[in-house]
Amino acid sequence: MNRELIRQLSAITEEEKEILKGKKETGDSRHLEKESLEEGLSRMPEGGRLVQIRLHTRFMHVPKHRHDYIEAIYMCQGQTIHKIDGYKMVLDEGELLFLNPYAEHEVFPAGERDLAVSFALLPQFFDIVVKSAIKEENKLRDFLIGCLCSVQKERNYLHFQVADVLPVQNLVENMVWTMFNNLPNKQMANQISMGLLFTHLMNCTERLNQSAQSFEQNLVFQVLRYIEANYRDGQLGQLCGMLGYDIYWLSRMIKRLTGQNYKDLLQIKRLNQAAYLLSHTRAAVSEISVAVGYDNTSYFHRIFREYYKMSPKEYRRELQASQRGNA
């Protein structure tokens, strides 16, 4: 991270001075109260802040607590130790930790050189910003959002080990920079940056800390990543060979965990990709059909119409008309 930012982040705050002097007990104030971002939003401008950023307070133990929003913690320097739903983990420099609102979270005291920032995200952020940025249906996106927004029986968090992923580091640094620079449009800038960050993290699910995931959660990520990368000719048998699972067992697990079978998930991805190519390229429908894995163009036309309730050509014409209307 930029040296000037590190210098600014390193400054001892008034709250931290009180802690070091022993005038403030560990775990008091804003950490012990049931902190409600919704209550804070009621005092904000119309539309509310979907993303808020603040420094992580050092030198104090933060006892078990929950939030009514999604929290993301980024380590700018050093490390912090967390206990989440009884599971102890270390967040190292350059890593990101996303906490589901239902997670029971405890933080151990950070040292002077351990610098972290916290992002508070309202669940609506994912509908308003992330889903609008990725307009086509995306099962991997939806599963990631589901992990963060819904009640999970275990592992209510996502730990991304992305210290060497430059786009992720740059986007977080941009948002941290806004903490020290009051720009008139910084809220919008942070929302866009966080949306872009999340789209990059969708490509980094292999960087998720495996030990911090449940077996079932990890299995779904493996299946969806395979489909994202191999939608044109990916086969369930090939996936089973890669993972070392029996094909009948894996087929049943996919159905139980996602509500859809492998063929359905593959077809949805192919049709989503076809819709993307129809809207972003001038390629002929027959070329798009082959590009997404359908050599039989007639079959492609039939399933596209069943899914989108219109033919590929109608889909393209309707989109073009909509774009002209917005011009």
- The residue type of 158 is L
3-state secondary structure of 205: helix
Residues 187, 192, 196, 201, Cα dihedral to 10°: 40
**Residues 193, 168: Cα–Cα separation, whole Å:** 10
Predicted local distance difference test score (pLDDT) of residue 146: 72
Q: How many CB atoms lie within 10 A of CB 254?
A: 22
According to DSSP, residue 320 is labeled H
Contacts of 226 (CB under 8 A, 6+ apart): 234, 239, 242
Domains of the chain, CATH where assigned = 3-207 (2.60.120.280), 216-326 (1.10.10.60)
The answer to whether 245 and 160 have CB atoms below 8 angstroms apart is no
Q: For the whole model, what pTM was predicted? A: 0.70
Contacts of 2 (CB under 8 A, 6+ apart): 173, 177
- As a whole number of Å, the end-to-end CA separation of the chain is 40
Tokens 């029971």 label which residue?
A: 104
**Residues 5, 293: Cα–Cα separation, whole Å:** 48
Predicted local distance difference test score (pLDDT) of residue 213: 60
**Residues 246, 199: Cα–Cα separation, whole Å:** 32
**Residues 274, 280: Cα–Cα separation, whole Å:** 10
DSSP-derived pairing of the beta strands 70-77 and 115-121: antiparallel
Contacts of 292 (CB under 8 A, 6+ apart): 231, 232, 270, 271, 273, 274, 277, 300
Tokens 């011009």 label which residue?
A: 327
Contacts of 129 (CB under 8 A, 6+ apart): 50, 191, 192, 194, 195
Q: 21 phi and psi, to 5 degrees? A: -80, -5
The answer to whether 111 and 6 have CB atoms below 8 angstroms apart is no
Total number of residues shown for the chain: 327
The token duo for 187 is 């809220």
Tokens 């219109």 label which residue?
A: 310
Q: 114 phi and psi, to 5 degrees? A: -95, 100
Q: Which of 263, 53, 86, 92 is nearest to 177 (CA)?
A: 53
Q: Which of 238, 280, 234, 299 is nearest to 136 (CA)?
A: 280
Mean pLDDT by 10 residues, the chain (327 residues): 90 91 58 40 44 90 87 95 91 94 90 94 72 61 70 71 95 90 82 86 80 72 88 93 91 89 92 90 94 95 94 90 69
**Residues 289, 107: Cα–Cα separation, whole Å:** 52
